[in-house]
Amino acid sequence: LDADCCALPLIQASTHPRALPTGTAVGHDNAQVNNDVAPFVRQKNSGAALTARLAMGRHTLTSITGWRRFDNDSDVDLDDTQAQLITRNFNIESSRTFSQELRLASPAGGVFDYLLGAYYFDGSVHNALDRRGLNIGATSRIDPDGNVVPRVPGDQAVLAGHSDVDSRNAALFGQANWRPREPLTLTAGLRLLRERQRLGFVRPLDGRFNGADQPATNPAFGPVTGHYRDSAAIGRLSASYAFTPVITGYVAWGTGYKSEGLAATLGLTAAQFAQLPAPAETSDMIEAGLKTTLFDNALMLNLTGFRTRIDDYQAQTYSAASGLFVLTSAGGVAIDGVELEFTARPHAYFSISGGVTWLDARFDGVGNGPCYPGQTLAQGCMPVASGGAFVQDLDGKPIMNAPRWRTTLGARYDAPLTARTDLYLQLDYRWQDTVLFDISQNPVMTQRAYGISDATAGLIFADGRIELGLFVHNLADRRYAANIMAVSTAGGANAYAQQLPADFRRQAGVSLRMDF
């Protein structure tokens, strides 16, 4: 991949008195930027996998070997303006992973069957950053052509450094199914895992983006190395019962685990390093549902209810002080929800499908969440007794990227046009409720509810091996953001930008699919 990516259109311009006019429209409909750095992304992604199966009597031994490599170089205009503030933000990311899994499966379909396995993972991630420039507060003047005059003559800050994270994970797992009577299946599973992680970090220079005469925004730190070990046991129990040949109910309980968190961004401080690792994220889930196939397969209807509780939830939050994202162990999260999905075929040539999800995802017992920029005491931003910090009570407030309601609806018409050619028409619609993009509950970083409709028409021929289609995405030209983020550190106070999805505007095109 070699792309001119990525730029972030402003939805709210800086209120700093030295900020230049944006030169573009500003708001949620904005898709234009006026930057002084040409962005780019150069990316290589490769991998291989080998699956081998060996019959051992009535048992089957399966081996799955995987290898992946990822390399990414990029630069963007971090201050998101035409002012020459942050003139370089060159970032390197690379990763290497190897995995090996062995599974032994017994014959299936009897009263009792099982699967036993072992898993090994070895991965490494390298990140490096070279950022140069100044924050707007370190300037005495910004000329109309974007030239920056530093408050300290000749001043230019540098944030440079790199981090390396190596991870090794080994696990033993097993699952068994027992059918004591014909309609009932009981399932139990267990996974035992052990993980080792190593973090190496260095930031050799002070970053003084507020000016050489001000305290360092990112003091020099390292080189340091941390070694971390953890182990866990996670399990699952479930029962399913076939009430009739077309109606099955089930209930399941399970636990989950996410590795201990390592803050490997270039904003890592000595205090944060001393507190690493962030506790492993653990979860407890209960789920129950009905799966049905009715009216001679003309209607599939599934209903699911679930309850999840997460401890030591790991989140990323933007730090306006450093201009970097910071790993936060937010505390507890409570998730309750109901999901309904269906597929109906009222005619041989016509089908309709869709679903609706209700989700109540909220913070649980989190009394020391971060405040958002400009949040006042009346809005819930409270001073901590010592240290001069400010926090807010997030208990009961929604978590990020979790809309309360989400619906999908699709209709498709398939019919033979000739003896060897089929015609299809498809309409799709999706709608989701308001969503927050930041843990701080910043109202500016909120996407209001929106709905998107798509249409496709095409031909399928050559025994289904070739499909030629015409499509229109976002028929109603509905504008929405895939993400909203603060860009205030370099470009000025209270500036926010949005990340645009591929279908931010109505788009039409032609697609060709060929199977060989």
Rounded Cα distance, 380 and 423, in Å: 58
Distance, C-alpha 338 to centroid of its chain: 22
pLDDT at 161 (0 to 100): 95
State whether residue 447 is helix, strand or coil: strand
Burial of 244: CB neighbours in 10 Å, binned 0-12, 13-18, 19+? exposed
State whether residue 494 is helix, strand or coil: coil
Rounded Cα distance, 289 and 291, in Å: 7
Amino acid at 352: I
Rounded Cα distance, 35 and 301, in Å: 51
pLDDT at 494 (0 to 100): 86
Amino acid at 455: A
Residue 352: name the closest of 242, 291, 440, 428 by CA.
428
Rounded Cα distance, 146 and 271, in Å: 37
Rounded Cα distance, 222 and 161, in Å: 9
Sign of the C-alpha dihedral computed for residues 477, 481, 486 and 487 taken in this order:
negative
Phi, psi of 458 (to 5 degrees): -170, 180
Phi, psi of 70 (to 5 degrees): -140, 130
Residue 85's region, left for phi above 0, alpha for psi from -120 to 50, else beta, is alpha
* 191 DSSP β-pair partners: 173, 234
How far from 512 is each of 422, 471, 508, 515, CA to CA, in Å? 15, 11, 14, 10
Structure tokens at 422: 């089929």
Q: Which helix (H) or strand (E) holds 488?
A: helix 488-491
Residue 297: name the closest of 341, 340, 345, 342 by CA.
345
Structure tokens at 141: 């003047």
CB 513 within 8 A of CB 494: no
CB 364 within 8 A of CB 333: yes
Sign of the C-alpha dihedral computed for residues 481, 483, 487 and 488 taken in this order:
positive
Rounded Cα distance, 404 and 446, in Å: 13
Q: What angle do CA 115, 117, 121 make, to 5 degrees?
A: 145
Structure tokens at 356: 């609706």
In SS3 terms, 227-262 reads as EEEEEEEEEEEEEEEEEECCEEEEEEEEEEEECCEC
Residue found by looking up tokens 């075929």 in the block: 345
Number of neighbouring beta carbons within 10 Å of residue 406: 19
Q: What angle do CA 116, 119, 125 make, to 5 degrees?
A: 165
pLDDT at 326 (0 to 100): 65
388 DSSP assignment: S
HSE-CB for 181 with a 13 A CA cutoff: 5
pLDDT < 50 regions, the chain: none
Produce one character per residue of 29-64: b if its CB has 16 or more CB atoms within 10 Å, e if not: ebeebbbbbebebeeeeeeeeeeeeeeeeeebeeeb
Rounded Cα distance, 425 and 427, in Å: 7
Radius of gyration of the chain (CA): 27
pLDDT at 462 (0 to 100): 84
CB 58 within 8 A of CB 42: no
Phi, psi of 69 (to 5 degrees): -135, 135
Q: Which helix (H) or strand (E) holds 303?
A: strand 299-319
Q: Residue 314: CB partners within 8 Å, gap ≥ 6?
A: 258, 261, 278, 281, 327, 328, 329, 330
